[in-house]
Amino acid sequence: MASIIDSVLAELAKHDVLSVEEVDLVIGELTFLGEEQLRFAFEVLSRGNALENAKLNISQEKIEVGCHACGYVGPVDYIGSSADHMVIPNLVCPKCGSGVEITKGKSCGVTSIKVVER
């Protein structure tokens, strides 16, 4: 979160911004970053700067894979159950069982910033 805030503040410095209202963040499922921890870190690290009163919006990016063997493109299957909190993605093709290329789910970044300009 510190790197994200530094990047946002560097971008804000290029513009005549009075305040920041919202920051939109996308977090891929494969980053294994916790939403509560990110919100807490954002709150602490934004104190005393242009992001202090900004709302942090977090959207989740689900895993998507592509299979070179059969041409499948889409979501993965999961191993385990949510009841025992041990759900993990099965990173093989759900159609043919071959190895896959991960096409979505690894993102971590700012998608937009809503600001008030002077």
Each residue's pLDDT, cut to its tens digit, for the chain (118 residues) gives 999 999 999 999 999 998 899 999 999 999 989 999 999 999 999 999 999 999 999 999 999 999 999 999 999 999 987 666 678 899 999 999 999 999 999 999 999 999 998 8
pLDDT at 65: 97
| pTM score of the predicted model | 0.81
Q: Where are the domains of the chain?
A: 2-117
pLDDT at 84: 65
pLDDT at 43: 96
CATH assignment of 2-117, given 3.30.2320.80, 3.40.50.2000, 3.40.50.10470, 3.40.50.300?
3.30.2320.80
Contacts of 1 (CB under 8 A, 6+ apart): 38, 41, 42, 45
Output phi, psi for 15, to 5 deg. Answer: -130, 165
